[in-house]
């Protein structure tokens, strides 16, 4: 990922530290079951996505970001760079 800095033509890579999706879900929802209920998904689907066994679709990724209250684009990239 590259970010162009304003007022310059220089383009530098953005350093993103990965965020563990599973840890983020457990931190907010205490369990994958509660996260699945909040997302309106069955447990198996939520488990596969949260643990990285299954890729999230764009719509599912948006829902995850909404549920985890992620609004910073760098945090969104960091969250999905681990899975």
Per-residue H/E/C for the chain: CEEECCCCCCEEECCCCCCCHHHHHHHHHCCHHHHHHHHCCCHHHHHHHHCCCCCCCHHHHHHHHHHCCCCCHHHHHHHHCCC
Tell me what pLDDT residue 53 has: 92
Tell me what pLDDT residue 1 has: 44
CB 82 within 8 A of CB 76: no
Residue 2 pLDDT class (50, 70, 90 cuts)? very low
Tell me what pLDDT residue 81 has: 80
pLDDT at residue 50 tops 80: yes
The pTM of this model reads 0.76
pLDDT at residue 14 tops 80: no
Rounded mean pLDDT of 55-60? 94
């Amino acid at each position: 990922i590259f970010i162009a800095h304003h007022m310059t033509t220089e383009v530098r890579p953005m350093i993103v530290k990965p965020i563990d999706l599973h840890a983020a879900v457990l931190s907010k929802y205490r369990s994958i079951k509660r996260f699945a209920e909040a997302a309106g998904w069955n447990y198996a689907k939520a488990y596969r996505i949260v643990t990285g066994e299954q890729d999230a679709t764009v719509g599912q990724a948006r829902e995850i970001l909404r549920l985890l209250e992620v609004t910073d684009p760098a945090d969104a990239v960091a969250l999905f760079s681990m899975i």
